[in-house]
Amino acid sequence: MPRLYSVFLIFLGLLLPAFALAEPAIWDAHSKRVALAEYVDYWQEDSRVALQQVQAMPEQAWTAVGNESANFGYGNDVYWFRFQVSNVSGVERASFVEVGYPVLDHIEVYLPDSAEPIVMGDKQPFHDRPIHHRHFVVPMLLPVGETVSVYLRVETTSSMQVPLTLWDRDAFYEADHRRTMLEGIYYGVVFVMILYNLFVFLAVRERSFLYYVGYITAMPLFLASLHGVGFQYLWPEGTWWNDQSIIVFLNLTIVFGGAFSIRFISVTPETHPWLNRWTVALVIVSGLAAAAGLFIPYKHMILPTILIAAVGCTTMLVLSVVRWVKHDPAARYYTVAWVFMLSGGIVLALNKFTFLPRNLLTENATQPSTTPTVIWWAMTALRWSHAAFSATSPDRRIWLLAMAVRSLWCCCRIHRLKAPKRLPSEFVRRSRKRLSGCPERSCT
Which CATH number is associated with domain 19-168? 2.60.40.2380
d(CA 121, CA 101): 10
Summary mean pLDDT of the chain: 80
Torsion, CA 125, CA 130, CA 131, CA 135, rounded to 10: -60
Q: Taking the complete model, does pTM exceed 0.85, yes or no?
A: no
CA distances from 314 to 81, 243, 390 (A): 37, 25, 33
Q: What is the pLDDT of residues 191-209, one digit of tens each?
A: 988 888 888 788 777 888 8
Q: What is the pLDDT of residues 106-132, one digit of tens each?
A: 999 999 878 789 999 999 999 999 999
Kindly indicate the confidence band of residue 437, based on its pLDDT and cuts at 50, 70 and 90. Answer: very low
Find residue 43's DSSP bridge partners.
80
Q: Residue range 10-25: average pLDDT? A: 55
Percent of the chain with pLDDT over 90: 43
Name the strand (E) or helix (H) holding 165: strand 164-168
The answer to which of 14-18, 56-60, 214-218, 281-285 has the lowest mean pLDDT is 14-18
Kindly indicate the confidence band of residue 297, based on its pLDDT and cuts at 50, 70 and 90. Answer: very high
Question: Strand ranges (DSSP E) for 169-248?
Answer: none
Question: Would you list the domain boundaries of the chain?
Answer: 19-168, 206-391, 395-433
Is residue 24's pLDDT more than 50? yes
What confidence score (pLDDT) does residue 365 get? 60
Kindly indicate the confidence band of residue 264, based on its pLDDT and cuts at 50, 70 and 90. Answer: confident
What confidence score (pLDDT) does residue 438 get? 43
How many secondary structure helices (H) and strands (E) does the chain include? 13, 13
The answer to which of 161-165, 236-240, 412-416 has the lowest mean pLDDT is 412-416
d(CA 220, CA 228): 12
233 vs 310 pLDDT, higher one: 233
Phi, psi of 390 (to 5 degrees): -70, -25
Identity of residue 240: W
What confidence score (pLDDT) does residue 110 get? 95
Are the beta carbons of 331 and 323 closer than 8 angstroms?
yes
Q: What is the pLDDT of residues 84-110, one digit of tens each?
A: 999 998 899 999 999 999 999 999 999
What confidence score (pLDDT) does residue 205 get? 79
d(CA 44, CA 81): 9
Q: What is the pLDDT of residues 387-415, one digit of tens each?
A: 555 554 455 555 555 555 555 555 555 44
Are the beta carbons of 116 and 128 closer than 8 angstroms?
no
Dihedral sign, Cα of residue 119, residue 133, residue 80, residue 54 = negative
Percent of the chain with pLDDT over 70: 71
What confidence score (pLDDT) does residue 134 get? 93
Kindly indicate the confidence band of residue 428, based on its pLDDT and cuts at 50, 70 and 90. Answer: very low
Q: Residue range 179-190: average pLDDT? A: 87
d(CA 350, CA 357): 9
Are the beta carbons of 246 and 298 closer than 8 angstroms?
yes
Q: Residue range 287-304: average pLDDT? A: 94
Are the beta carbons of 56 and 126 closer than 8 angstroms?
no
DSSP letter (8 states) at residue 32: S
